[in-house]
Structure 1
Amino acid sequence: MDHANHPRLTPDEMTEAVLTGAQIYGPAGESIGTIAHTHGTGPEQGVVVDVGGFLGIGAKPVMVPLRDLDMMRDENGEVHGLTRYSKDELKALPEHRHG
């Protein structure tokens, strides 16, 4: 998938409603997870990405700064993001726990 021509999300679009469920792709174009939910707003906003697993089973939730993701829409308007991290690098992060 060529992401170069996909329009990037504006800061106003970086909301939980828009970002939740977005597919995240790694540096080699591989699908590495989906955004489960967000924390905070603005420059320090974080997103919890469910990494790996199948249909949400066995996925590991990890917190990633939103600034580390390149969020955009594809030709169909579907929101997705790119990260420089590989699936293994994200899986090595501490598991995000609620509370």
Structure 2
Amino acid sequence: MREHTNHVRLTTSELTPAVLEGAAIYGADDHKVGKVDHIHGAGAGGSAVMRDEDGDVHAVTSWTKDEFKQMSEYRDWA
């Protein structure tokens, strides 16, 4: 299990496609639910985006993989 409490949240200025694309997304049960493929608009709604001790960017959300699959946008980034 990843220990996200020690990871540093990204600032608003870091929430760019260059930084976010390819980032892993971890769901409510701390399992990987996907990755960021591309960004629509600004920000990463519904997620906390952070950098781990190795410098890797990832997002943490309260959504589960099943909840992501129910969203129409999921097909764009699954």
TM-score computed with the length of structure 2 as normaliser:
0.88
Matches within 5 A, 1:19-30: 19-30=20-31
Aligned to 1:84: 62
Aligned to 1:2: 3
| CA–CA separation in structure 1 for the residues paired with 2:31 and 2:4 | 13
| CA–CA separation in structure 2 for the residues paired with 1:40 and 1:90 | 18
CA RMSD of aligned residues (A): 1.3
CA drift of 1:67 comes to 2.4
SS in 2 for 1:4: helix
| CA–CA separation in structure 2 for the residues paired with 1:94 and 1:21 | 20
Matched residues, number: 74
Which protein is bigger by CA-based radius of gyration?
Answer: 1
CA drift of 1:86 comes to 0.3
Unaligned runs of 5+ in 2: none
Matches within 5 A, 1:54-93: 66-93=44-71
Moved over 2 A (4+): none
TM-score computed with the length of structure 1 as normaliser:
0.70
As a proportion of its length, which structure holds more helix? 2
Q: Of the two structures, which has the highest relative contact order with CA contacts closer than 8 Å and spacing of 6 or more?
A: 2
CA drift of 1:89 comes to 0.5
As a proportion of its length, which structure holds more strand? 1
* Percent of aligned positions that are identical: 45
Aligned to 1:50: none
